[in-house]
A and B are shown apart, each in its own frame.
Chain A
Amino acid sequence: MRIRPLSCSIGVVIGLLSVHTAVSAAEADPAAANPTFANPDTPGLLAGKPAPDVVNLSDVVFLKQLAMGSRAEVEIGKLADQRSSTSGVDAFARDMVKDHGEANSKLASLARTAKVSLPTELGPAHVAARTELSRLSGTEFDLKYVDGQIKDHQQAVQLLIYEITSGQHSGVRKFAADSLPTVMAHLEHARSLRAQLTPPEVTPPPAASR
């Protein structure tokens, strides 16, 4: 368990940990985490097999933060699909709605098994981003949307990488590892869209002298 300010209820998590008395039958990955940063009460810790189906605080932070971002991908993606006039951008937005919709279902079911409650509303940053986007159109909209996507996917990539060595819940860690190639591909796609939307300015050749 890591020490850090948390938006979730630490009491709920600690209570959750303490009700587990035996190492679960779920697959344990002994090489996963550094026990120096573990909750000393983690079942199975002393046997080198921390309970794989129990969350630590990194899992909780990861689940909540990723769920919030992924929910925003769907909501803002729907707006972009309606609003964008550029075929590459609207196709990307539809991919986001589909891929993150699927991811959200998986996250919801993981969160249920891990007994973590996920945020049901967008965070203030994404609400502000959606409000700003809803006022834009044309290339201005496309650029703003794609820029937001680049930032959001950069954050998501780092969150997934973080969970791989910091998390404890084997299902959540597996979800992070399995999702990384897809989210990295989304980031690369968004970066290539941005490059297409901002072609290097070419100075027209001087008019031939008459």
Chain B
Amino acid sequence: MTRATLFPGYLLASLAALSVSDAALPPDTTYRPLPTAPLDAVIKSDQAAKPAVLQRQRSLFEQRYDLANRPMPNAKMSGGRKGVQAGVRVKLPQGMTWERLGEMTPEQIRTQRAFPAGFMRLPHVKQSAGGQVFPRQQIDEINAQEKRNLERFDVDFDLPDHFTPEFPAPIFLQSRPDLGDVSQGKLLTIRNYYEIMVGHLTPVQMEGLRLLLTPFPQEEFNQTEDRKVIEQSLGVTCLDCHANFHTNAAFHLTPDVRPQAARFRLDTTSLRGMFNQQIHGSKRSLRSVEDFTEFEQRTAYFNGDHVSATRKGVHLPDRANQVAMMAQMQNMIDFPPAPKLRPDGTLDPAKSSEQELAGERVFNGKGQCATCHVPRQDFLDHQMHDLKTERFFTPGLVVNDQAVLPDGPIKTFTLRGIKDSPPYLHDGRLLTLADTVEFFNLVMGLKLTAPEKESLVAYMLTL
């Protein structure tokens, strides 16, 4: 056999080998590409586009929600400074009522496109860029105390201030319930934590706190040309989002989903009551706060992309010392006091109104809330559940560059101190407690009456 006939045979063999991968998806469906444009061009481009980006998101909010500032007359968050917003804010399709919607089957709602837009996924203010976005108060306070810049040049925080938690949030220690709020009305930072907390904490907890307040490089806040803050950034801290161990409603995209347009928004969760929570992460179901603390550097900080993390200078805390101390600190944080709750998680009838008690009955009965939010277990069940909201709409719609896909199972969140943590659901798509009642009424097919719905809101305010 001659060389000439051998060669085509070799070519054929390599073509056959190629055939297995000719349909593989492009690598940047999974991996973050390296930057191609110079940073000064990126800054100019992002800054020029910013007004239109914010306007697009504002239009979406106005189309979905009633954004008026309407606090309840008799309810305040636990620090006593900020009101709790009243009423259902998700808008209905033209001519629809909540009662009529509640009578329809999921199929009818789907085919008639009657599912309220505010019940669907809430996109990131700029889905294509994603990343952490901090509220103005956090940016200003960190700038004042630390001269550290949390302001992005491409996007701003998109929720009106009256739909976010009290800032700075009170801090309650489960190790010293007698002390009450120990925050002194201040935001804990690397500059002030020592004088605020010395004496209240053990040395190990103090060191954990120091680490939780130490900035580390992050996807959008780092020193490379792949960042969204003008100057080389010192990075972000754990408590920049979980401000005072609660939440300031800073948001992000889930690290656990790709491609980018499929990722759902994440509203920061409170760390209150961490000592009783058995699974962590809306999707990852990590089994201890130690695991979560250790792995968060590659997830919240770097979108679940260890490749990008390594390039930008990830800080990997050492498990035996740093992780343990950070976790022990987080486990000291209590829920806010709930004076009407008895030790078993039930309402004390002597202290509760008739409406609150009626709400508790709905919660445990017709409303089915207690199936997952178990009162005896701090309103947790340590499970992930799939609400299957896709029964109500046609998946695949694209809203502000986010694909409306089924969310799949999501971790049950606690309801203790729930009035302190708007917005609600894992992505913050619901602005008020009344919105959550309408959402679950529809999704679970509960057919609650108007008085039952109102009683549920009254009950949740007591938690």
| Interface set of A (CB-CB < 8 Å, partner B) | 1-4, 30-40, 45-50, 58, 61-62, 65, 68-69, 123-128, 152, 155, 158-159, 161-162, 164-166, 177, 180-185
With beta carbons under 8 angstroms apart, the residue of B18, B28, B45, B259 that contacts A4 is B28
In angstroms, Cα B127 to Cα A166, docked, is: 11
Residue ID in chain B nearest A184 by CB atoms: B396
| Interface set of B (CB-CB < 8 Å, partner A) | 15-16, 18-20, 22-23, 25-29, 33-38, 41-42, 44-50, 52-53, 56, 126-129, 225-226, 259-262, 394-398, 400-401, 403
Tell me whether A40 and B41 are in contact (CB under 8 A): yes
Tell me whether A38 and B49 are in contact (CB under 8 A): no
A183 proximity list for chain B (CB < 8 A): 396
In angstroms, Cα B373 to Cα A92, docked, is: 43
B42 proximity list for chain A (CB < 8 A): 35-36, 38
In angstroms, Cα B44 to Cα A162, docked, is: 25
In angstroms, Cα B53 to Cα A30, docked, is: 7
Tell me whether B260 and A165 are in contact (CB under 8 A): yes
Tell me whether B25 and A155 are in contact (CB under 8 A): yes
Residue ID in chain B nearest A6 by CB atoms: B26
Tell me whether B18 and A124 are in contact (CB under 8 A): yes
CB contact under 8 A between A165 and B128, given known A36-B35, A46-B41: yes
Tell me whether B37 and A35 are in contact (CB under 8 A): yes
A2 proximity list for chain B (CB < 8 A): 26, 28, 33, 36
Tell me whether A46 and B394 are in contact (CB under 8 A): no
Tell me whether B44 and A34 are in contact (CB under 8 A): no
B129 proximity list for chain A (CB < 8 A): 34, 36
With beta carbons under 8 angstroms apart, the residue of B34, B37, B47 that contacts A40 is B37
CB contact under 8 A between A162 and B37, given known A47-B48, A181-B395: no
Show 29 residue pairs from A and B whose CB-CB distance is below 8 angstroms, ordered by the A residue: A2-B26, A3-B34, A4-B28, A30-B53, A31-B49, A31-B53, A31-B401, A32-B128, A35-B42, A35-B46, A36-B36, A40-B38, A47-B45, A47-B48, A48-B44, A65-B25, A68-B22, A68-B23, A124-B16, A124-B18, A124-B19, A125-B20, A155-B23, A164-B260, A164-B403, A166-B28, A180-B403, A181-B397, A184-B395
B225 proximity list for chain A (CB < 8 A): 36
Which residue, of A31, A125, A166, has the highest number of chain B Cβ atoms within 10 A? A31
Tell me whether B19 and A125 are in contact (CB under 8 A): yes
Residue ID in chain A nearest B403 by CB atoms: A161
Tell me whether B36 and A158 are in contact (CB under 8 A): no
In angstroms, Cα B260 to Cα A38, docked, is: 16
In angstroms, Cα B14 to Cα A101, docked, is: 32
Which residue, of A33, A35, A48, A180, has the highest number of chain B Cβ atoms within 10 A? A35
B45 proximity list for chain A (CB < 8 A): 35, 38, 45-48, 50
A34 proximity list for chain B (CB < 8 A): 126, 128-129
A-B pairs, 7 with minimum CB distance: A48-B48, A48-B49, A124-B19, A181-B396, A30-B49, A177-B398, A180-B396
> Closest approach, in angstroms, between the C-beta of B218 and any C-beta of chain A?
15
A46 proximity list for chain B (CB < 8 A): 41, 44-45, 48
In angstroms, Cα B52 to Cα A65, docked, is: 32
Q: A40-B41, A165-B260, A185-B396 are in contact. List 12 more A-B contacts (CB 8 A).
A: A35-B37, A37-B36, A46-B45, A46-B48, A61-B26, A69-B23, A126-B23, A155-B25, A161-B259, A162-B28, A181-B396, A184-B395
B49 proximity list for chain A (CB < 8 A): 30-31, 35, 48-49
In angstroms, Cα B261 to Cα A31, docked, is: 13
Residue ID in chain B nearest A1 by CB atoms: B36
> Closest approach, in angstroms, between the C-beta of B45 and any C-beta of chain A?
4
Tell me whether B52 and A48 are in contact (CB under 8 A): yes
> Closest approach, in angstroms, between the C-beta of B63 and any C-beta of chain A?
15
A4 proximity list for chain B (CB < 8 A): 26-28, 33
CB contact under 8 A between A166 and B260, given known A36-B226, A123-B22: yes
Tell me whether B33 and A37 are in contact (CB under 8 A): yes
In angstroms, Cα B25 to Cα A158, docked, is: 8
> Closest approach, in angstroms, between the C-beta of A140 and any C-beta of chain B?
22
Tell me whether B401 and A165 are in contact (CB under 8 A): yes
In angstroms, Cα B27 to Cα A152, docked, is: 17
Tell me whether A30 and B23 are in contact (CB under 8 A): no
Tell me whether A158 and B396 are in contact (CB under 8 A): no
Residue ID in chain A nearest B27 by CB atoms: A4
In angstroms, Cα B22 to Cα A127, docked, is: 11
> Closest approach, in angstroms, between the C-beta of A119 and any C-beta of chain B?
10
Which residue, of B33, B38, B226, has the highest number of chain A Cβ atoms within 10 A? B33
Residue ID in chain A nearest B56 by CB atoms: A31
